[in-house]
Amino acid sequence: MDLTFSDEELAFRDEFRTWLADNPPPPDPGEVADEARNAWRAAWQRQLYEGGWAAPGWPAEYGGRSATLTQSAIYFEELGRARVPLPLNVLGLLLGGPTLMVWGTDEQKDRYLAPILSADEIWCQGFSEPDAGSDLASLKTKAVKDGDDWVVTGQKVWTSAAQYAKWCMLVARTDPDAPKHKGLTYFLMDMEQDEVQVRPLRQITGEAEFNELFIEEARIPDENVVGGVGNGWKVALTTLMNERAGLGFTLQIRLRQLLDDLIGVAAERGLLDDPRYADQLAELHARCEAIRLMAWKGLTDVERYGQPGPEGSLVKWLWSDTNQQATQLAADIVGADALVAGTTWSYELLRARGNSIEGGTTEILKNIVAERVLGLPRLKPATA
């Protein structure tokens, strides 16, 4: 056991920390229209890109730094610690690029990877549908071959970045007669066509991070199939496995900062000596520490021993639960400000409700833990 970073890892961290200090993002434009905000985040990604820091985890041949898993996690921790925004094309960098590296043809890698890195082309993810959420493989969007093209019709939901994305990672049903996991194909769909309509979904915070996609006979050339026709489920799993990997370390640090801010407010108000609050704050601190330790254990066990422990399925559950508890406690400690619309605390309180739903609901995560980690029997799904 050695719970310290190696000299190389510390050097990597210090290099990025120094770079961040020397190259801060342009000033936050504040409350402006979405386009201006996105332009700001795109400029920030280009700055990272020019410094060689857009995706250190990518192999050097594709413009990354061939960073180890640990170094990548350090990178995301440092982004969180510096309180800078994530690069605009986070879905392309974390999901799209790595999926293409596994499943893409050489032509696809040549064509798509560089503009992901430079933020010239933004990516979004068209997986979920109104009737296919946790049960993703039951999706209904269909793609029919027509000459050298596929013609796609259907509806997608929870598509973040769709308003400004150029490419959509789209999973559609290409064989309606095959079993539900077998008849799917993974496409790259050009978002810049009239057959794809984007409608923002206003969420409980009032903002619109997500969209609905209405796809009416959109065309996708055959060369934009990723991983082969009928192989879409496997390709989608590659994307989903990348979903929580690096980002978790940024989220974990952000929770730590939120809790530290809350502890700061409690200290100012003399509430740290009040057992009603001290006990709960200490409990949240303990959970935060457990998240940090379990996240690192999960990652380094894979890196060192090639063997993931149970942590992977537990950390996201514990993080979302803890973030919700922390933002809820803030309503008691901060007081009225935490309930005034537009304050950071009220925003966090509302936004946190999404944590236990997005990227796998807590209920689904518990099923995964029960079935795959503990080996409990599956409950047979009710027949439709």
Partner 1 sequence: MDFGLTDDQRDIQRTARELLADRASPERVREHAEAGRHDDGLWTELRELGWPGIAIPEEHGGQGLGGVELAILSEELGRAVAPVPFLPSVMAAAVIEAAGSPEQRERWLPGLAGGELVGAVAAATDGAAGLVPSGADADLVVLVEDGSARVVTRDEADMEAVAAIDPTRPAARVAAPRDAGEPLAGDVAAGVARALVAVSAELVGVCDRALDMTVAYVKERKQFGTPVGAYQAVSHRCAQMLLDTEIARAATSEASWTADADPDRLRECAALAKATASDAGRSVTASAIQAHGGIGFTWEADVHWLFKRAQIDAALLGGAKEHRARLARFVGERAAVRV
Q: Does 381 bind partner 1 (CB under 8 A)?
A: no
Identified binder of partner 1 from the candidate list 149, 190, 301, 358, rule CB under 8 A: 301
Residue closer to partner 1, measured from CB, 230 or 310: 310
- Active-site residue 243, yes or no? yes
Sketch the per residue contact string, 329 through 368, with partner 1: x for CB under 8 A, - otherwise.
Answer: ----------------------------------x-xxx-
Main-chain phi, psi angles of 290, to 5 degrees: -65, -40
Quickly tell me which residue has 């998240």 as its tokens: 291
How many residues touch partner 1 (CB under 8 A)? 54
Half-sphere exposure (Cβ direction) of 282: Cα atoms closer than 13 Å: 9
Candidates 51-59, 200-208, 336-344, 371-379; binding stretch for partner 1 (CB under 8 A): 371-379
Identified binder of partner 1 from the candidate list 26, 51, 130, 264, rule CB under 8 A: 264
Three-point CA angle 67, 73, 77, nearest 5°: 130
**Alpha-carbon gap, residue 161 to 180, rounded angstroms:** 28
Identified binder of partner 1 from the candidate list 135, 216, 283, 337, rule CB under 8 A: 283
Candidates 126-134, 156-164, 219-227, 293-301; binding stretch for partner 1 (CB under 8 A): 293-301
Q: Does 383 bind partner 1 (CB under 8 A)?
A: no
Catalytic residue among 77, 121, 243, 311: 243
Exposure string (b/e) for 44-83, b if CB count within 10 Å is 16 or more? Answer: bbbbbbeeebbbbbbeeebbbbebbebbbbbbbbbbbbbe
Candidates 115-123, 181-189, 237-245, 287-295; binding stretch for partner 1 (CB under 8 A): 287-295
**Alpha-carbon gap, residue 291 to 297, rounded angstroms:** 10
Residue closer to partner 1, measured from CB, 178 or 267: 267
Candidates 32-40, 54-62, 348-356, 370-378; binding stretch for partner 1 (CB under 8 A): 370-378
DSSP 232: H
Residue closer to partner 1, measured from CB, 202 or 366: 366
State the Rg of the chain over Cα.
22
Q: Does 135 bind partner 1 (CB under 8 A)?
A: no
Who contacts 116 (Cβ-Cβ below 8 Å, separation ≥6)?
89, 92, 93, 96, 97, 123
> What's the Cα-to-Cα distance from 365 to each of 47, 57, 351, rounded to whole Å?
36, 26, 20
Give, as ranges, the residues between 78 and 97 that touch partner 1 (CB under 8 A).
none
Main-chain phi, psi angles of 351, to 5 degrees: -65, -35
Half-sphere exposure (Cβ direction) of 2: Cα atoms closer than 13 Å: 5
Residues known to be catalytic: 243
User: Which residues bind to partner 1, rule: CB under 8 A?
Assistant: 1-5, 9, 70, 260, 263-264, 266-268, 272-273, 275, 278-279, 281-283, 285-287, 289-290, 293-294, 296-297, 300-301, 304-305, 310-311, 314, 317-318, 363, 365-367, 369-371, 373-380
